[in-house]
Amino acid sequence: MSNLKLGIIGLSEGNGHPYSWSAICNGYDVQAMDKCEFPTIPRYLSERRWPDDQIEGVKVTHIWTEDRSVSERVAAASLIPNIVDSSIDMIGAVDGILLARDDAEQHFRFAAPFLRAGLPVYIDKPFALSLQEASRLMATRTFQGQIYSCSALRYAKELSLTASELAAIGMVRHIIATVPKDWDRYAIHALEPALMLIPDRGRAVAFRKSSIGRASSLAVEYASGACLTIHALGAVAAPISLKVIGHAGWRELVFQDSFSAFKSALETFKTSIEMRQSPISDDFLLEVAELLEAGR
């Protein structure tokens, strides 16, 4: 079976996913990647075994960014053979699109041509910052499983609990989550793994938003009685973390492994292309969009 071919679109400010996602699929050039403007990327790539740790059966074959010189740097570092001058030139040349930008306000503009053309699209987090924008993207699909979107941290093992760990702390009553940087781009990194720890939460019945300085917070109460509080702390060196509090104990979870989370998310997108079905429901995407909108 031949490799799936993906096209990648970048690059938004502060987001190095075109480098890292492509490298996870293709491998990378060590010297070119060392010149990457995101130093954490070559650092965690260097800790892996190549080609053993790259994804099998998929290659990023085409790239477009708004600046050809950026495209050339990413292509050289992540072994992407084709640079296109217009993003829509990838239609007919690839099997799916990686929209590797986290400026959600631009997602519709970049995704719509590919959705209308029937290509599966992995839309980088956050999918949308409002219910209206989420619904607009969904309405542009040509088939139900066409859109895949998530924070890759939903797949981070270090942000999950085993059945025995959950049993030890008892029913989860409150999760306190912290992320660095701004609400719009980073709250979702804690929000998705937190929601997966309270699957029987029911609907949100109360929201309370607050802010102080450059920090933003949202507290949510669910019909089950579980509560979730998310703090986006601004320009501080805080880890992405969850404090999971049950009626019999608590656990502190800290995100550590970007590579494994990204790889799992990309492997899931590969499967979704092959199955023409996304594992992430519309209801979940809309729930996340509603919470992000409530916290803005």
pLDDT at 54 over 70: yes
Per-residue pLDDT at 211: 93
Q: What is the DSSP string of 13-73?
A: TT--HHHHHHHHHH---HHHHHT-S-THHHHHHTTS-TTTTSPTTEEEEEEE-SSHHHHHH
Each residue's pLDDT tens digit, 65-101: 999 999 999 999 999 999 999 999 999 999 999 999 9
Measure Cα distances from 165 to 66, 147, 218, 230, 244 in Å: 46, 33, 26, 22, 11
In CATH terms, is domain 4-152+259-295 a member of 3.40.50.2000? no
pLDDT tops 90 at residue 280 = yes
Give the predicted TM-score (pTM) of the model.
0.96
Confidence of residue 45 (pLDDT cuts 50, 70, 90): very high
CA 248 – CA 167 distance, rounded (Å):
9
CATH 3.30.360.10 domain span(s) along the chain: 157-256
H or E, element range at 240? none
**CA dist., res. 189 & res. 61, Å (int):** 28
Mean pLDDT value across the chain: 97
Q: What is the pLDDT of residues 9-24, one digit of tens each?
A: 999 999 999 999 999 9
* CATH 3.40.50.720-classified regions of the chain: 4-152+259-295
pLDDT, tens digit, 9 for 90 and up, residues 263-279:
999 999 999 999 999 99
Please check the confidence at residue 1 and state whether its pLDDT lies above 70.
Answer: no
The answer to whether the beta carbons of residues 147 and 115 sit under 8 Å apart is yes
The residue written with tokens 């130093």 in the block is 39
pLDDT band at 2 (very low <50, low <70, confident <90, very high): confident
Other residues' Cβ atoms within 10 Å of the Cβ of residue 260: 18
What is the average pLDDT across 233-246? 95
Strands 58-64 and 82-83: parallel
Identify the CATH homologous superfamily for domain 157-256.
Dihydrodipicolinate Reductase; domain 2 (3.30.360.10)
Q: Is the dihedral of CA 31, 34, 37, 40 positive or negative?
A: positive
Q: Give the separation between CA 222 and CA 238, rounded to whole angstroms.
A: 27
**Is residue 36 a contact partner of residue 16, using CB atoms and an 8 Å limit?**
yes
Q: Give the H or E element holding residue 184.
A: helix 183-196
What percentage of the chain reaches a pLDDT higher than 90? Answer: 98
What is the arithmetic mean of pLDDT over 140-157? Answer: 98
* Element housing 165 (H / E): helix 163-169
- What is the C-alpha separation between 166 and 244, in angstroms, rounded? 9
